[in-house]
């Protein structure tokens, strides 16, 4: 686990012959807890039968690692060195994404558009209002949203905002932290 703490990017290596095992999920959870960018590497892809193509295995990976839906998946064979050249560009990309700094004005425009597209759900007649957003950290990117009442945030709306940020700013491979502060 100290290796995860010291790392800039974590590679989650999955053995294509064995498939996804519980230990893989356990290791992935440590990387998420540490806020590390992740690339999922499926090794021994040369040993998999033709009937198991990349798209079906990717669906399996996405299904098993729902909490890592933002992580890119690459398929390699260390033995034959097939596609190993695809790993380093992904590492560079997720590292850069985890260090990305976004202008406050652009960030506020995206969140304002997201709220206009889909308003936050109301709770007991009260509705969440987001007055301002700013980036307050990198590795992983941390965004602070100033709101009228931080108790009105629903997990599904938080996921929606996170997806909008990923969609607009290419934050593939890196976790995102959304922090809410009351405006007062």
Residue 89 and residue 25 share a domain: yes
Range of the domain at 139: 104-182
CA separation for the pair 172, 93 (Å, rounded): 8
Residue 126 and residue 81 share a domain: no
Residue 166 and residue 151 share a domain: yes
Residue 91 and residue 116 share a domain: no
CATH number of domain containing 45: 3.40.50.300
CATH number of domain containing 155: 3.30.300.20
Looking at the structure of the chain, the number of domains it has is 2
**DSSP code for 82:** B
Measuring CA to CA, which residue among 171, 130, 162 is closest to residue 37? 171
Residue 115 and residue 42 share a domain: no
Residue 127 and residue 78 share a domain: no
Distances from the Cα of 107 to the Cαs of 75, 89, 101, 150, in angstroms? 34, 26, 10, 19
pTM of the full predicted structure? 0.88
Q: Do the strands 38-43 and 10-15 form a parallel or antiparallel pair, or are they unpaired? A: parallel
Q: What is the pLDDT along the chain (184 residues), one digit of tens a residue?
A: 889 999 999 999 999 988 899 999 999 999 999 999 999 999 998 887 655 588 888 899 999 999 999 999 999 999 999 999 999 999 999 999 999 999 999 999 999 999 999 999 888 888 989 999 999 999 999 999 999 988 889 899 999 999 999 999 999 999 999 999 998 6
């Amino acid at each position: 686990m100290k290796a995860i703490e010291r790392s800039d990017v974590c590679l989650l290596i999955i053995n294509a012959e064995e498939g996804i095992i519980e230990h893989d999920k356990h290791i992935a959870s440590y990387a998420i807890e540490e806020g590390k960018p992740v690339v999922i590497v499926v090794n021994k892809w040369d040993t998999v039968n033709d009937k198991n193509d990349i798209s079906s295995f990717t669906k399996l990976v996405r299904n098993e690692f729902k909490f890592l839906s933002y992580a890119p998946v690459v398929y390699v064979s260390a033995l034959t060195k097939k596609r190993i050249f695809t790993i380093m560009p992904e590492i560079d990309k997720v590292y850069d994404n985890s260090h990305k700094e976004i202008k406050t004005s652009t960030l506020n425009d995206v969140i304002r558009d997201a709220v206009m597209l889909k308003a936050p759900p109301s709770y007991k007649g009260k509705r969440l209002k987001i007055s301002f957003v700013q980036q307050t950290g990198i590795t992983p990117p941390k965004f602070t949203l100033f709101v009228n009442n931080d108790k009105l945030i629903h997990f599904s709306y938080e996921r929606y905002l996170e997806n909008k940020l990923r969609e607009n700013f290419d934050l593939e491979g890196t976790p995102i932290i959304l922090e809410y502060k009351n405006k007062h």
